[in-house]
């Protein structure tokens, strides 16, 4: 397995995802002789994991069971150890499409952070593309290198430990796209321009604050970028629930036989097929929004190098 | 010209996209072919050979000319007002008449100069605030400085174009929703993908772009053949199509039950005299399929589609024996050709069936006008365990049903019903604000991951279902209480 190529069976050294139930999962490094504790009991790697098919159900020592999943950048994003605030798949999706990334693309990124976007970019540009990612924090840069190695993608990425605003990306005139997620992106626009190929390269800058966006747009204009466009994207998730609503008691009619609306005492009443006449409730399926949703992550500004 | 390296150049026969501000239009690059775009008529001949991304102006002769980089006149502190309290909009502030402007245009005066004339002849211009002057100039430039950029097609460009111009053709799939599908589906090089779409081939094209020619795709299709009008716009190199297969939905049930046979193939669309817009068959028809996106189909193109039609309408003089003999030879050849084609089709069908039968696809993408539930329940059978699937539907309710049926079926986890909310911004110094909301109308997605299916154990799938559900919220329980 690797993050850029599917495998069928779990092997020693793989990173797998243990799925316990609704939105409860965690990554695990598969290793001979190791055990993993879960709330359902122990998972013995040698007997329970290695050699099993991805997607299999594994019964743990206490009797409960879990599913073992093949890693993907999306699952990794939901489960990786955070060293910084990360980008989630909603933003990652639109970034990928708007930067026109595909196999063979050369991408530059800064800052690497916790590697959430990095894994997604590597997956998209594989097997012939490359990611040049710059991180000014030494330990974060090293941790990223380690993870890329463990995930079998080190040949597709170069991690550079430097300040992109001062020293750029370490490459020039070859990138198809540049991505910036740093505090002062306007200071890196010049470096971004020189890293990008001569014509048609795409750039994206992610900033939580509109003031940062304003300065960045100005810098992009000054450096001759065109098609400058800022947007934001938010995810709305719905829980599928069967809802029962009570029919209110509006009292009985006195003599009149004509019925109006829901009349639970009239057996010939057509009404809604879901009406439960005995209990006086109506059932239906609904997509119910979550109570707490993400209201803002950051503004995404895209532009083209002309 | 697909990978990085030297920038791609516009070549004859390409599908290119014309862009003016936020308006896009896909066209075929052909010489002496008149194009209408944004109220302008021109030929693309002069664009051939230029790099994609070049901006052109339309000359008075209807030819394209690369736009010169013009030095923006340094903004000296211009005269401006503070607010609009004294500005009366009586429609009389512009001294130039329609005729005056037309005369300028006819003289060949450049758009830039016309805008300058308009400013000078506006009585209220100097009373406007700086921001209002800015806005005025931008508006006039947009109208009179007609520049067109020719861009290389991509998922970004085409999905934006289709959503703006022909959303009905793509089931109102908004481009950010498409972006989510590609990522949630982990579409990447090397996958074996199953794609079922009725979006003119846009979704197929997007999947192909993300796979870069590696791996394989089996496109499921309703009716006589898949529609790939949008796919041809991407301009993929021929090898990309080597591993693109197709399989008719009408044969899915037989494949699943093991009774599949190639004896009764779906009706060959080529045999139909009428050319329906929707059926493009399995032959390469780049030019004709592009007609869908142009505003005026050309008569030559319509004739390209049906070589057999010509034959049917030929009335032969039977008395000419030699002619008759030649005609018989021709007929035999045509029959043979047809037989070869049929044999090839059958062979391809068997190949696609074999690929499906392996039941090890790396993912499933559905985006169609059909109710999603039967599609998913059937097509998931061909997907390997621990693989993502994504279903798009213009409406939420069918996905509620789909979700429920999938829970009953089991073998899926991490089911998520979602939509994305997209908002564009205007960013200008002291004038930044959202532009327009596009929330709603983008469609809905149901995504999930397959797992090994425990068939015949209804108990385990029930307990599975319970485990997968979020504990019902307090809010729901309150509704069950008696009043």
**pLDDT 10s digits, A127-136:** 999 999 999 9
Reduced to 3 states, what is the DSSP secondary structure of residue B327?
helix
Interface test with A, best of B1, B3, B4 (most A CBs within 10 A): B4
Across chain A, mean pLDDT equals 92
Distance from CA of B85 to the nearest CA of A (A): 29
Q: B203, B157, B153, B236: which is closest to B363 by C-alpha?
A: B203
Which of chain B's residues have a Cβ under 8 Å away from the Cβ of A6? 190-191, 362, 384, 387
Task: Quote the pLDDT of residue B277.
Answer: 37
Task: Quote the pLDDT of residue A34.
Answer: 95
Q: Establish if B374 touches chain A: CB-CB under 8 angstroms.
A: no
Give percent above pLDDT 90 in chain A: 85
User: How far is the C-alpha of A181 from the C-alpha of B80, rounded, in Å?
Assistant: 39
**Cα dihedral sign for B400, B405, B407, B411?**
negative
Candidate from B176, B419, B432 with C-beta closest to A94: B176
DSSP B131-181: HHHHHHHHHHHHHHS-EEEEE---HHHHHHHHHHH-GGGGTT--HHHHHHH
User: How far is the C-alpha of B239 from the C-alpha of B293, rounded, in Å?
Assistant: 25
Q: Do B413 and A67 touch (CB under 8 A)?
A: yes
Task: Quote the pLDDT of residue B319.
Answer: 53
Candidate from B7, B214, B388 with C-beta closest to A72: B388
Which of chain A's residues have a Cβ under 8 Å away from the Cβ of B387? 6, 55, 70
Task: Identify the architecture of domain B8-69+91-152 in CATH.
Answer: Roll (3.10)
Distance from CA of A155 to the nearest CA of B (A): 16
Task: Quote the pLDDT of residue B145.
Answer: 78
Is residue A181 annotated as involved in ligand binding? yes
Task: Quote the pLDDT of residue B299.
Answer: 36
Q: Establish if B466 touches chain A: CB-CB under 8 angstroms.
A: no
From residue B210, how far is each of A105, A300, B103, B205, B246 by CA, in Å?
11, 21, 50, 9, 19
Q: Do A93 and B184 touch (CB under 8 A)?
A: yes
Task: Quote the pLDDT of residue A67.
Answer: 97
Candidate from A67, A93, A306 with C-beta closest to B182: A93
User: How far is the C-alpha of A192 from the C-alpha of A277, rounded, in Å?
Assistant: 67
Say if CB B221 and CB B267 are below 8 A apart.
no
Query: Which residue did the predictor score with more confidence, B263 or A13?
Result: A13
Q: Which of these ranges, A143-152, A169-178, B186-195, B326-335, has the smallest mean pLDDT? A: B326-335
User: How far is the C-alpha of B146 from the C-alpha of B142, rounded, in Å?
Assistant: 7
Q: What are phi and psi of B359, to 5 degrees?
A: 50, 40
Q: Which of residues 116-175 of A touch B (CB under 8 A)?
A: 120, 123-124, 126-128, 174
Pairs across A and B, CB distance < 8 A: 212
User: For strand A177-180 and strand A281-289, is the pairing parallel, antiparallel, or unpaired?
Assistant: unpaired
Q: Yes or no: is domain B160-261+357-450 CATH 3.40.50.150?
A: yes
Task: Quote the pLDDT of residue B281.
Answer: 38
Task: Quote the pLDDT of residue B7.
Answer: 73
Give this prediction's pTM. 0.85
From residue A125, how far is each of A97, B52, B75, B133, B233 by CA, in Å?
12, 22, 44, 45, 22
Query: Which residue did the predictor score with more confidence, A269 or B178?
Result: B178
Q: Establish if A293 touches chain B: CB-CB under 8 angstroms.
A: no
Candidate from A96, A230, A236 with C-beta closest to B418: A236
> What are the start and end residues of each CATH 3.40.50.150 domain in chain B?
160-261+357-450
> What are the start and end residues of each CATH 3.10.330.20 domain in chain B?
8-69+91-152
Reduced to 3 states, what is the DSSP secondary structure of residue B37?
strand
pLDDT in tens, chain B (483 residues): 334 446 789 999 999 999 998 899 999 999 999 999 988 889 999 999 999 999 998 887 788 888 876 655 555 567 888 888 888 888 888 888 888 888 887 777 777 788 888 888 888 888 888 888 888 888 888 877 778 999 999 999 999 999 999 999 999 999 999 999 999 999 999 999 999 999 999 999 999 999 999 999 999 999 999 999 999 999 999 999 999 999 999 999 999 999 988 766 555 544 433 333 333 333 333 433 333 333 333 333 333 333 343 333 344 444 567 778 888 888 888 899 999 999 999 999 999 999 999 999 999 999 999 999 999 999 999 999 999 999 999 999 999 999 999 999 999 999 999 999 999 999 988 889 998 777 778 999 999 999 999 865 444 445 666 666 654 443 334 333 333
Candidate from A54, A92, A234 with C-beta closest to B421: A234
Which of chain B's residues have a Cβ under 8 Å away from the Cβ of A301? 427
Task: Quote the pLDDT of residue B466.
Answer: 60
Q: B284, B412, B51: which is closest to A200 by C-alpha?
A: B51
All structural domains of chain A: 9-71 (3.10.330.20), 75-234+295-305 (3.40.50.150)
User: How far is the C-alpha of A165 from the C-alpha of A273, rounded, in Å?
Assistant: 65
Task: Quote the pLDDT of residue B458.
Answer: 45
Is residue A21 annotated as involved in ligand binding? no
Length of chain B: 483
Q: What is the pLDDT of residues A23-81, one digit of tens each?
A: 899 999 999 999 999 999 999 999 999 999 999 999 998 889 999 999 999 999 999 99
User: How far is the C-alpha of B389 from the C-alpha of A235, rounded, in Å?
Assistant: 18
Q: Which residues contact A14 (CB under 8 A, 6 or more apart)?
A: A1, A7, A29, A30, A71
Q: Establish if B314 touches chain A: CB-CB under 8 angstroms.
A: no
Which of chain A's residues have a Cβ under 8 Å away from the Cβ of B386? 53-55, 67-70
Q: Establish if A283 touches chain B: CB-CB under 8 angstroms.
A: no
DSSP B61-101: TS-EEEPPPPPPPP-------S-STT----S-SB-S-HHHH
Q: What secondary structure letter does DSSP report for B270?
A: G
Task: Quote the pLDDT of residue A306.
Answer: 85
Task: Quote the pLDDT of residue B483.
Answer: 31
Q: Establish if B178 touches chain A: CB-CB under 8 angstroms.
A: yes
Q: B153, B340, B302: which is closest to B230 by C-alpha?
A: B153
Q: Which of residues 398-427 of B touch A (CB under 8 A)?
A: 399-401, 403-404, 413-427
User: For strand B192-197 and strand B244-248, is the pairing parallel, antiparallel, or unpaired?
Assistant: unpaired
Distance from CA of A15 to the nearest CA of B (A): 14
């Amino acid at each position: 397995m690797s993050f850029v190529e599917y495998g069928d069976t779990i092997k020693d050294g793989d990173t797998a995802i243990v799925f316990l139930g609704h939105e409860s999962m965690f990554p695990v490094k598969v290793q001979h002789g190791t055990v993993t504790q879960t709330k359902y009991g122990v998972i013995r790697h040698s007997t329970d994991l290695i050699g099993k098919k991805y997607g299999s159900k594994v019964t743990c020592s206490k009797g409960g069971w879990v599913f073992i999943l093949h890693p993907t950048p999306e699952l990794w994003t939901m489960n990786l150890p955070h060293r910084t605030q990360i980008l989630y798949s909603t933003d990652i999706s639109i970034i990928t499409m708007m930067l026109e990334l595909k196999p063979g693309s050369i991408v530059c990124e800064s800052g690497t952070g916790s590697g959430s976007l990095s894994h997604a970019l590597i997956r998209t540009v594989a097997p012939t593309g490359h990611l040049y990612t710059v991180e000014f924090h030494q330990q974060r840069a090293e941790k990223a290198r380690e993870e890329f190695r463990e995930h079998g993608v080190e040949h597709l990425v170069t991690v550079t430990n430097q300040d992109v605003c001062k020293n750029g990306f370490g490459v020039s005139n070859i990138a198809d796209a540049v991505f910036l997620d740093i505090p002062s992106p306007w200071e890196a626009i010049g470096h971004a321009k020189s890293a990008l190929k001569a014509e048609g390269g795409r750039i994206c800058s992610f900033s939580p604050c509109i003031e940062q966006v304003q300065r960045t747009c100005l810098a992009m204009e000054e450096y001759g970028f065109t098609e400058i466009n800022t947007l934001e994207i938010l995810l709305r998730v719905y829980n599928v629930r069967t809802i029962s609503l009570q029919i209110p008691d509006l009292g009985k009619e006195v003599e009149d036989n004509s019925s109006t609306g829901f009349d639970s005492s009239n057996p010939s009443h057509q009404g809604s097929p879901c009406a439960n006449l005995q209990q006086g409730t109506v059932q239906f399926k609904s997509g119910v929004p979550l109570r707490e949703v993400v209201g803002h992550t950051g503004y995404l500004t895209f532009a083209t190098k002309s | 010209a697909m990978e990085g390296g030297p920038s791609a150049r516009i070549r004859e026969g390409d599908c290119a996209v014309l862009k003016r501000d936020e308006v896009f239009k896909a066209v075929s690059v052909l010489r002496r072919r008149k194009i209408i775009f944004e109220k302008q008529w021109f030929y693309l001949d002069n664009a051939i050979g230029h790099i994609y991304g070049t901006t052109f102006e339309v000359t008075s002769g209807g030819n394209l000319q690369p736009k010169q980089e013009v030095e923006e006149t340094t903004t000296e502190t211009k005269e401006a007002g503070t607010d609009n309290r004294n500005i009366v909009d009586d429609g009389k502030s512009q001294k130039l008449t329609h005729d005056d402007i037309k005369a300028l245009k006819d003289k060949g005066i450049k758009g830039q100069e016309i805008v300058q004339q308009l400013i000078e002849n506006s009585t209220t211009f100097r009373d406007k605030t700086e921001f209002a002057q800015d806005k005025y100039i931008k508006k006039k430039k947009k109208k009179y400085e007609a520049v067109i950029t020719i861009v290389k097609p991509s998922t970004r460009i085409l999905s934006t174009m289709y959503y703006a111009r022909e959303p009905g053709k793509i089931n109102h799939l908004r481009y950010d929703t498409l972006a989510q599908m590609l990522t949630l589906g982990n579409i990447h090089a090397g996958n074996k993908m199953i794609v079922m779409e009725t979006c003119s081939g846009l979704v197929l094209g997007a999947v192909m772009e993300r796979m870069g020619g590696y791996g394989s795709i089996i496109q499921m299709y309703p009716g006589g053949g898949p529609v790939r009008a949008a796919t041809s716009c991407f301009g993929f190199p021929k090898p990309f199509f080597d591993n693109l297969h197709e399989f008719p939905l009408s044969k899915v049930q037989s494949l699943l039950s093991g009774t599949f046979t190639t004896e009764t193939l779906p009706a060959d669309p080529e045999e139909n005299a009428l050319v329906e817009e929707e059926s493009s068959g399995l032959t390469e028809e780049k030019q004709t399929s592009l007609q869908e996106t142009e505003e005026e189909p050309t008569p030559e193109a319509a004739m390209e589609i049906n070589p057999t039609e010509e034959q049917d309408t030929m009335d032969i003089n039977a008395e000419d024996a030699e002619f008759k003999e030649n005609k018989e030879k021709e007929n035999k050849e045509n029959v043979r050709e047809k037989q070869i084609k049929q044999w090839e089709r059958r062979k391809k069908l068997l190949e696609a069936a074999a690929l499906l039968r392996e039941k090890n696809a790396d993912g499933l993408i559905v985006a169609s006008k059909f109710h999603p539930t039967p599609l998913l329940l059937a097509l998931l059978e061909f997907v390997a365990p621990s693989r993502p699937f994504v279903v798009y539907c213009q409406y939420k309710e069918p996905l509620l049903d789909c979700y429920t049926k999938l829970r009953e079926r089991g073998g899926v986890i991490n089911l998520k019903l979602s939509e994305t909310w997209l908002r564009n911004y205007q960013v200008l110094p002291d004038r930044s604000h959202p532009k327009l909301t596009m929330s709603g109308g983008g469609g809905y997605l149901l995504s999930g991951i397959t797992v090994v299916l425990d068939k015949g154990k209804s108990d385990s799938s029930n307990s599975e279902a319970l485990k997968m559900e979020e504990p019902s919220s307090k809010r729901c329980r309150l509704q069950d209480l008696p009043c």
